[in-house]
Amino acid sequence: MIPRYSRPEMSAVWSEQNKFQRWLDVEIAACQAWAELGQIPPAAAAKIKRDAHFDLAKVNEYISITHHDVTAFLRSVSESLGEEGRYVHFGLTSSDVWDTATGLQLRDASDLLLRDIDGLSAVLERQAKAHRDTLCAGRTHGVHAEPTTFGLKLAVWVDEMRRAKARLQSAREAIAVGAISGTVGTHASVPPALEEIVCRELGLGIEAASTQVIQRDRHAQFVMTLALIGASLEKFATEIRALQKTEVLEAEEPFDEGQTGSSAMPHKRNPEKCERVTGLARVLRGYAVTAMENVALWHERDISHSSTERIVFPDACLLLDYMLTMFTDIMDRLIVYPDHMLENLGRSYGLVFSQRVLLALIETGMPRQDAYVIVQRNAMASWKGRTPFLDLLLADNAVTSRIPEAELRGLFDYDFYLTNIGATFERLGL
């Protein structure tokens, strides 16, 4: 991933140095397990644990010769040891090391992403509570529907991020596994007992039935989960973008001192951060497709997945880490315009109360279809003539003969919506 979208902690998880270190962690754990099973001398295992290391520059040099990163890595490790080096990688195949180490990296990446989600959720909860009673227009199809509050919009996002966290926790559990089962997964060269010891030592679950690789449905679940979280962020960002339109201007992403929005038009305050979230979510969805296509490998394995995973795993984790932290900052410093929200509510001349009028007429005993025709007729006249909806209803005998004036005026009351919105906040514990 390009540096622009990479943060230090996640970059460290996916650095070449850390990747090979995780390989070494697996190799050392295997040697310790062999010693525990009596296969290699305890003193040799102890020396390997103490002295084994690799030189990244040498590994890259050897890769240019071998065109095989595992053998290049093993050559560098062997140079740090004496005769004990012959026990390193004993009975293992490349995928034992690669897949198990990748499980460690994905587990560590998941923990960072879960922390990011907690950070965003905390900000969303704070903003939702702060704007619980901030009235605004609820829109369907982009058109005024009924009154809502900005806090309720954000409460929906809070609930969605809670689901995102649960999904990622499940994906973390699925991906944090190891497999030390040898070529084609038969345990012919490494007993199941060794696999159990290694995975226990590394804090991983065990792939109960493996071929030569850990099955890629696990990895697909993980990347798809990241893509789904990205889709939620895109949804949130799209809402902010829509609310930032000049003719709407109900909310606006932060615009810092010295920031510029356009090279040509100095006045522009563009929602470029939210647009960035939207664009990066598209990349994540593409990675999810790739991860799904990696599930079907030939027979006990091929390496058609390997080339893609070198890109997809690091990039997907780096991207979502970046998106989550950036959107957290957007929401933390979001500019909200309650007065504009109320002003915009009034732009539809009270039509947002049409359902309440419809229901009130039905409650008097009027057939629903008749009531609908009366309310819609007045609503269309209100919109066409730019006339307050309530004024037209008060002048319509078909309405006032059924609903007293005071009761009709009472239907045009925002507090009714505020009272009922509170139930959602109670459900969410906000």
- With beta carbons less than 8 A apart as the criterion, state whether 104 and 204 touch: yes
Identify whether 304 is a catalytic site residue: no
Crossing angle of helices 16-36 and 69-78, rounded to 10°: 70
- With beta carbons less than 8 A apart as the criterion, state whether 48 and 88 touch: yes
| Rounded Cα gap, residues 427 and 422, in angstroms | 9
- With beta carbons less than 8 A apart as the criterion, state whether 322 and 277 touch: no
Kindly tell me the burial class for residue 338, based on how many C-beta atoms sit within 10 Å of its own C-beta (0-12, 13-18, 19 or more): middle
**Sequence-distant (≥ 6) Cβ neighbours of residue 238 within 8 angstroms:** 274, 278
Residue 86: count of CB within 10 angstroms of its CB: 12
Active-site residue, selected from the candidate residues 53, 68, 170, 262? 262
Residue 143 host element (H or E): strand 143-149
Identify whether 141 is a catalytic site residue: yes
> What phi and psi values does residue 149 have, to the nearest 5 degrees?
-130, 155
Residue 9: count of CB within 10 angstroms of its CB: 12
Active-site residue, selected from the candidate residues 67, 141, 267, 299? 141
| Rounded Cα gap, residues 319 and 2, in angstroms | 10
Crossing angle of helices 42-51 and 16-36, rounded to 10°: 170
Could you give the residue numbers annotated as active site?
A: 141, 262
